[in-house]
Structure 1
Amino acid sequence: MSQDPNSLEEWKTTLLAAAGLIVVSFIAYYILSRLGDDRAGDRVGSIATVGLIVWLVSQTWYYMTQVHSPRRQLLLMGISFIQVVPFLFAAVYGSFGYYDLCVVGAKTSTDVLYFSYVTFTTLGFGDLRPVGMCRAIAVAEAISGYVLLGLFVAAAVGIYSRNRTS
């Protein structure tokens, strides 16, 4: 695999990985955020939280150790920043259930997705708020938003500065 991909063939594996990230996060969100009140709750939410932690650690390890091209890192981190991480956190919030069990004021899956994006970007409008264990999950999401944005900016600066000097 080329260090600096230029052709579509060299980008193929990275684009497949990016598509895989999007599909997996959407499926997780779709399934977990639509659980009925009889199935959602602390047990399912806790399992989803552990799965999310494993995913975040594995993706961080992958970006830092296996992806050596700054352009590939930028693409994968951009997709994570825009879609994957907020969707996965929304899936976790939804897996705890609605009607003020996890996010006060969230009644539907779109409410938890909105809350996830507001938390991930650290915007924090205040119209929805986490309770119980979801407070810790919201803190983790805000921190991952800071970290991912920092890595994204670092990769973009690395590409820009390398292209300017060559």
Structure 2
Amino acid sequence: MAEPEPKSEQTETHQQHRAQRTTVILIIVLAITAGAISWYGIRPGNEMVVTSKSSVISSNKEVETIRKIPLASIAVDEIRLPHFDPIMPLGPHRDVFMTNCITCHSPRLVIDQPHFPQEKWEEIVNKMVVTFGGHVYKKDQPKIVEYLVSIRGKTESAQKKLQRP
């Protein structure tokens, strides 16, 4: 039985170019379609409407009325969601911690950490700034460490217990 001939580099290159051309053509068609839809959608007389059915009882008969409401009249200017401050224990410089750290990750991440000594918290805060690009002022880093030690730091008595055999 004869082995199939390997595809030449020219054939593979031709197939790649063909796939690229097809992709470009599809993007152009989609752009034209999107432009046409947006153009015809905003022309006068083409306003989208929502029909509203309401039942009115008059003279013991239920009459259904249909009103056309322009979509623009029911547009939402803003949505207000409830705001819940993360529950973080009170401690020194809690506000600095909340301002700098909660913007990137959940407070639960901190609460779920084991109790670390101050040196470890300094290392973690430095890693957040240097490695992960946390936007924390140099003057705020010790304050954040102080807060973390106050809520999740190892006390001296706990460290002594760990060192005893």
Q: TM-score range by the shorter chain?
A: under 0.3
TM-score if structure 2 supplies the norm length? 0.25
TM-score if structure 1 supplies the norm length? 0.25
RCO greater where, 1 or 2, for CA within 8 Å and sep 6 or more? 1
Return the index of the structure with the highest Cα Rg: 2
**Higher-strand-fraction structure:** 2
**Higher-helix-fraction structure:** 1
